[in-house]
Amino acid sequence: MNLFNTLKTGRHFSSLSFVSKEWKLIETRRVAAKPTYKVGDPKPAHIPERYKKVPDYKYGDPTVFKQSAKGLYGGAFIRFGNSISESKHKTRRTWMPNIVKKSLWSETLNKKIPLKLTASVLRTISKEGGLDNYLIKDKSARIKELGPAGWKLRYEVLKLKEQRSKEHLKNLETATNSEGKEVYIFYNGTINGKALRITKSKNSLLNLLYPLEKIEQKADGHVLTRRLYSDMYYGASIEDVLSKLDQYNFDLSTVSV
């Protein structure tokens, strides 16, 4: 009897719901391969007007049931079939996912996010312990079911998390400044024969350089905008910025310990 039980291939029961997940509709979407662009390459025929603010989603936008691009639908799509009467007459009908509107609290973003999501995703979010945990899970099935809206939220959450973690400062040397506060040393070396231990990041130094550069350009009869300025110093190293500051007689001792 035991042997029969182990070998039987009958119907198995599970609490998992496969009902409305159409992985095929997500996995088979064709997303055009992006060419690799570099500064200085010939311009392509078309350049979008706006900056790209969100990473490219591997599975692209939905080709069917496009409303799912605007919410957390968990890979659920509209389904089609027949309603069959007692006389076996068939009438076409559709099944929509159970969509609810809900504002969910994001711990990381520290705000309520109004969302359209399916009831099953809402259940998953509560099991995961919050919206952020749902969004930042790494499993490939989760990435597939996030959709473009979920992918965007995931980027916002992860970006803020990374900013707050101060990962980029982890390997930096620290020192104590004149006020007795602990500061990071962003550059330790010599510029034009001056030994420096710089306590400002490259971006902060670029902000200090901007008004000086602007005056310098004005003297030459050019108008420097912030956009032109950022293009001008694209890819410049911290040494380049420091030597430029020194060239414009900026007192580097104010940003050094």
Partner 1 sequence: MSINFKHISKAGARIMERLANPPKGIVRHQAKEQAKALPEFLQPDLPILPREQRFRGPRDWRFMPGDRVVVLHGEAKGNIARVTKHDTATNGFILDEFGPTKTVAVPKDFWTEGQTTHMVNLPVLLRQRDLRLVAEVEDPADPTGATTKTVAVANIVYKGQYYDEDYKRMMPYRCVFGQPDLIIPWPRPEPVEDGPLATDSEVAREQTFWVDSIARGSIPQQAFVTIRNPHSKHRRGTITPADLRKLVAPDMPLTETKKAYLEEQKMLHSRPKPVLTDADKQMIGDRVRQFMEAGERK
Backbone CA torsion sign across 133, 138, 142, 146:
positive
Indicate the residue among 162 and 173 with the shorter CB distance to partner 1: 162
- At closest approach, how far in Å is the CB of 155 from partner 1? 6
Beta strand pairing call for 99-106 and 90-95: unpaired
Q: Is 153 exposed, middle or buried (0-12, 13-18, 19+ CB in 10 A)?
A: buried
- At closest approach, how far in Å is the CB of 6 from partner 1? 36
Residue 160 CA to chain centroid, in angstroms?
9
- At closest approach, how far in Å is the CB of 123 from partner 1? 22
- At closest approach, how far in Å is the CB of 127 from partner 1? 17
**Binding-site ranges for partner 1 (CB under 8 A):** 34, 37-56, 136-138, 154-155, 158-159, 161-162, 227, 230-231, 234-235
Indicate the residue among 162 and 239 with the shorter CB distance to partner 1: 162
The tally of CA atoms less than 13 A away on the side-chain side of residue 86 is 0
- At closest approach, how far in Å is the CB of 14 from partner 1? 26
Indicate the residue among 152 and 197 with the shorter CB distance to partner 1: 152
Indicate the residue among 158 and 183 with the shorter CB distance to partner 1: 158
Indicate the residue among 64 and 232 with the shorter CB distance to partner 1: 232
For 22, residues 6+ apart whose C-beta sits below 8 A from its C-beta are 75, 76, 77, 79
Cα–Cα nearest to 254, from 240, 242, 237, 236: 242
- At closest approach, how far in Å is the CB of 159 from partner 1? 6
3-state class (DSSP) for residue 236? coil
Query: Residues in the chain, how many?
Result: 257
For residue 45, what are the CA distances in angstroms to 41, 42, 48, 125, 192?
A: 12, 9, 10, 43, 44
Indicate the residue among 86 and 138 with the shorter CB distance to partner 1: 138
